[in-house]
Amino acid sequence: MKTILMMYPKDSDGRDEVFDEMKKEISKRDDLRLEIVNNAEDIMHRLKINVHICALVYDWDSMGMKIPHLVSKINDYLPIFAFSLTHTAKDLNLSDLLLNLHFIDYISHEGKDNLDRIGKAIEAYYEKIMPPFTKKLIQFTKEANRYAYCTPGHLGGSAFLKSPVGAYFYDFYGPNLFKSDLSVSMKELGSLLDHEGPHREAELYIAKTFNADRSYIVTNGTSTANKIVGMSIAYQGETLLIDRNCHKSLANFLMMCDVKPIYLIPTRNTYGIIGGIPKSEFTTEVIKNKIKKANALAKKNNKNNTPFKWPIFAVITNSTYDGLLYNTDYIKNTLDVKNIHFDAAWIPYACFSSIYKGLFGMSGKAIKDKTIYETQSTHKLLAAFSQVSMIHIKGTYDEDVMNEAYMMHTSTSPFYPFVASAETAAAMMHGNPGKYLITSSQKIAMNFRHEIKKLNRQNVKGWFFDVWQPSDIGSHAKCWPLKNNEKWHSYGKVDDDHMFLDPIKITVLTPGLKHGKLIDFGIPACIIAMYLSNLGIIVEKTGPYSILFLFSIGIDKAKSLKLLSAFIEFKREFDANLSVEKMLPNLYSEDPVFYKKMLIQDLAKGIHGIYKKHQLPDFIYKAYNVLPEQHLTPFQAYQELLKGNVKKCNLKDLKNNICVEMLLPYPPGIPVILPGEKVTDESENILKFLLTLCEVGKYFPGFATDIHGAWQEDDGEYYTKVIKKS
Ligand SMILES: *Cc1c(COP(=O)(O)O)cnc(C)c1O
């Protein structure tokens, strides 16, 4: 509920009667709560933990500007009421006047008048911080008491209330969600597909917030945002330059459009963590070579295809899943491609902290003769409903064509709460409240990193988890550059001033690998991930010996401490060699016969042993070193699938077959084979890598690897689809 903070005057020389009177008035209102605080620290503490506070009342004569100055650090929009006697001097600076500060004379007003004034300021406050579309939608929802004869058929929820199961569903979400799920025929709210009215205002508001020339709200995820951008640029027969570390949705885009991809190849380390695309890959010379090679291969395969040409479009995943950001200024200036698209699904917050300057698509100014696109999954790391995504653009582009592609992928019945949550996610990042949010999560992340390191140092003789980060991270959050030949990142040679690690993406390392080599003792990360999951802690991603945690703005100290204590508890139980049944009850229940009496150390030894036998880290490294041969474009391969010119193939026999599906193993979550590609002798490590992953699942029930594009049959073997007649 809306809360007013009140700090009584220090001296009770009659002034507190004015406060008493206000207190009485507030208690008569059932839409307001009052919290009494005693000092400045109290105020700050309350402001940090109660975001419903919408006004502060205090005595100016004893505290002066001290209070507003403090408050503005957390919330520079908050209405503050300073009570004072008329004759008190008010020594104010120009910047003080920018705060939402109101003076009220002790003598001249009644308690009720004072509260009326405060009430108006509270209204103005919400008016100011609420973004335009959301404001209209809420207002419209509150006022709507109409008889609709249009979609959605639930009619503000009333259809649900005619059925027992419907009513249960309705009660779970509450009325407002249904009332604000409106038909596109409501003229007052404009249109998402035509970018009109309040919807347009929302997109302009978002563009301004994210430093873009123009932004689009996408209500079906960055999966769709990526396709929209691609399809607004790439036309038939053109060559595109695609990050091999691309999201599935880009592979899908390549299957939908008759275009010819060539790839930018990132590095990877033995942890399976994808590094960056080296600087050289962006140079004209290297790209020309790639085109030449692609044309030579096409000729060898006797294809009557149009040749590969200079690319008109390039896509780079920035940041990577694991939190590596590029020096985007270098890419924008070096890469001689007209349209550069940064898939920024993982960093929608980059615009709101100075540590990311120069490391994301919309950072800085427009680049001459180039158009920069950035797609972001707002829902992944800001606060928005799932599927909420944004496209940001800087530079010139054809708005009509863009909108054609946009409409091609957008439902004619968009869900308005999605739109409102996109806009609210942007509004949350405004001003000091936004800064406070992002610095808090950075602080918690830094603290977590230091704690793990501390525990690691205390366990020099035994083992403990480690963090993937430079040896000295300092005390303040910043993006750490990957420097050439530094041991920690284990990429070996890297370009200067090119890749940076984001402090809020934390990769925790488990024992098993040292300087790129497998050591005798190891605890594969999948075991710990399973242990954490039993405690209700869901990790973001698990590699062979690494686990990724995202410290988004939703994180708080309690959650971070819970994670730390879980690590400590795991170590204690592991060292005591408890049973699998005790430590991993979920796993145990999957196959009680197999895991009966098995101890946790034996399980770790077993899986570590398989990784060792197959030298898994080495394979991860090599699997991505040589690309498979492209025989068909993803588009052509998909056409063959439609025609039915495909057959089932055991992964073991995959060599020299043309794949139809994208094969994408977790870890590291990057496609190893794209549709139309063939594993040959040169790239056979890909196959060995996939088969190793399959083997773990065969020996240890519950640890089957997820390989998108392949499936396991009752015989225990993995299969995928390949071209029947090429
Ligand atoms: C998750 C992700 C996407 C897709 O985003 P959704 O919002 O889930 O559709 C695209 N690109 C990258 C790099 C991603 O990680």
H or E stretch at 97: helix 94-97
Q: Which ranges constitute the DSSP H helices of 358-415?
A: 378-381, 399-408
Q: What angle do CA 118, 58, 13 make, to 5 degrees?
A: 120
> What is the mean predicted confidence (pLDDT) over 287-299?
94
E strand spans, 396-545: 466-467, 480-481, 499-501, 505-509, 513-514, 517-518, 541-542
* 258 C-alpha to ligand 1 centroid (Å): 22
Report the alpha-carbon distance of residue 711 to residue 664 in Å, rounded: 12
What percentage of the chain exceeds 70 in pLDDT? 98
For the chain, the helix, strand and coil percentages under 3-state DSSP, each to the nearest 5: 45, 15, 40
CA of residue 541 to ligand 1 center, whole Å: 14
Closest CA to 466 of 488, 486, 442, 492: 488
Nearest Cα neighbor of 427 from 131, 123, 128 is 131
Dump pLDDT digits (tens) for 219-254.
999 999 999 999 999 999 999 999 999 999 999 999
Query: What is the distance between the alpha carbons of residues 231 and 312, in angstroms, rounded to a whole number?
Result: 12
Residue with tokens 């419907």, as numbered in its chain: 166
Residue 113 has phi, psi (to 5 degrees) of -60, -45
pLDDT band at 554 (very low <50, low <70, confident <90, very high): confident
- pLDDT of res. 622: 82
- Nearest ligand 1 atom to the CA of 226 is 10
Q: What is the DSSP string of 596-662?
A: TT-BHHHHHHHHHHHHHHTTHHHHHHHHTTSPPEESS-HHHHHHHHHHT-EEEEEGGG-TTPBB-SP
* DSSP states along 121-159: HHHHHHHHHS-HHHHHHHHHHHH------SSSTTTTTTT
pTM for the full model?
Answer: 0.94
pLDDT of residue 303: 67
Q: How many CB atoms lie within 10 A of CB 461?
A: 5
Per-residue model confidence (pLDDT) at position 667? 64
Q: How far apart are CA 384 and CA 419, in angstroms?
A: 9
Q: What is the 3-state secondary structure (H, E, C) of 549-568?
A: EECCCCCCHHHHHHHHHHHH
Q: What is the largest CA-CA distance in the chain?
A: 97
Nearest alpha carbon, ligand 1 atom 1: 345
Neighbouring-strand partners of residue 630:
677
Ligand 1 centre to CA of 223 (Å) is 5
Q: How far is the CA of 50 from the centre of ligand 1 (A)?
A: 32
Nearest CA to ligand 1 atom 5: 222
pLDDT at res. 304: 66
The residues that bridge with 199 in the sheet, in sequence order, are: none
- Closest atom of ligand 1 to 386 CA is 7
Q: Is 3 left (phi over 0), alpha (psi -120 to 50) or beta?
A: beta
Distance 221 CA to ligand 1 centre (A): 7
Integer CA distances (angstroms), 538 to 223, 323, 628, in order: 23, 18, 34
Rounded distance from Cα 375 to ligand 1 centre (Å): 9
pLDDT of 438-471, one tens digit each? 999 999 999 999 999 999 999 878 899 999 999 9
Atom number in ligand 1 closest to CA 377: 7
Please give the distance, rounded to the nearest whole angstrom, from the Cα atom of residue 517 to the centre of ligand 1: 32
**Ligand 1: centre distance to CA 662 (Å):** 16
Best substitution site from 243, 248, 249 to test ligand 1's pocket, by max atoms within 8 Å of Cβ?
249
Q: Which atom of ligand 1 is nearest to the CA of 344?
A: 13
Assess contact for 504 and 478: CB atoms under 8 A: no
Supply the DSSP string of 168-180, one letter for each residue.
HHHHHH-HHHHHT
pLDDT in tens, 618-642: 887 788 788 999 999 999 999 999 9
pLDDT digits (tens, 9 = 90+) for 430-439: 999 999 999 9
How many Cα neighbours within 13 Å face the side chain of 229?
Answer: 36
What confidence tens digit (pLDDT) does each residue in 348-398 have? Answer: 999 999 999 999 999 999 999 999 999 999 999 999 999 999 999 999 999
Tell me the backbone φ, ψ of residue 647, rounded to 5 degrees.
Answer: -145, 165
Residues 409 and 230: beta-carbon distance below 8 Å: no
Return the residue whose CA atom lies nearest to atom 8 of ligand 1: 221
Class of residue 305 by CB neighbours under 10 A (exposed 0-12, middle 13-18, buried 19+): middle
C-alpha span between 508 and 530 (Å, rounded): 15
Amino acid at residue number 91: D
Q: How many CB atoms within 10 Å of residue 414? A: 18
Q: Give nearest CA residue, ligand 1 atom 2.
A: 345
Mutational test site, ligand 1, from 216, 217, 218, 222, max ligand atoms within 8 Å of CB: 222
Calculate how far, in angstroms, residue 343's C-alpha sits from the geometric centre of ligand 1: 8
Tell the residue nearest (CA) to atom 7 of ligand 1.
221
Host H or E run for residue 413: none
What's the whole-number mean pLDDT along residues 148-167? Answer: 87
Which atom belonging to ligand 1 lies closest to the Cα atom of 320? 13
Contact 206, 217 (CB under 8 A): yes
Q: Is the pLDDT confidence value at 184 over 90?
A: no
User: What spacing in Å lies between the alpha carbon of 382 and ligand 1's midpoint?
Assistant: 14
Q: 452, 567 in Cβ contact below 8 A?
A: yes
Question: Where is 349: in which H helix or E strand?
Answer: none
Q: CA 159 → CA 144, 171, 172, distances in Å?
A: 16, 13, 15
Please give the Cα distance from 579 to 581 (Å, whole number): 5
Residues 463 and 604: beta-carbon distance below 8 Å = no
Buried (b) or exposed (e) across 329-351, using 16+ Cβ within 10 A?
A: eebbeebebbbbbbbbbbbbbbb
In whole angstroms, what is the distance from residue 15 CA to residue 61 CA?
10
pLDDT for 154: 87
Structural domains for the chain: 2-129 (3.40.50.2300), 149-182 (no CATH), 195-429 (3.40.640.10), 441-605 (3.90.1150.10), 626-723 (3.90.100.10)
Given a cut of 70, is residue 109 above it in pLDDT?
A: no
Strands 32-37 and 2-7: parallel
Which atom of ligand 1 is found nearest the CA of 246?
13
CA-223 nearest atom, ligand 1? 9
Instruction: Identify the bridge partners of residue 261 per DSSP, sorted by sequence position.
Output: 240
Instruction: For residues 163-181, give the mean pLDDT.
Output: 94
Contact 232, 405 (CB under 8 A): yes
Q: Which residue has the higher pLDDT, 593 or 694?
A: 593
For the chain, the average pLDDT equals 92
Report the nearest-CA residue for atom 15 of ligand 1.
Answer: 345
- At 227, list the tokens: 């396709």
Q: How far is the CA of 568 from the centre of ligand 1 (A)?
A: 33
CA–centroid distance, residue 417 to ligand 1 (Å):
20
Residue nearest to atom 14 of ligand 1 (CA): 345
Q: Which residues line ligand 1 (CB under 6 A)?
A: 221-223, 226, 247, 249, 317, 343, 345-346, 377, 389
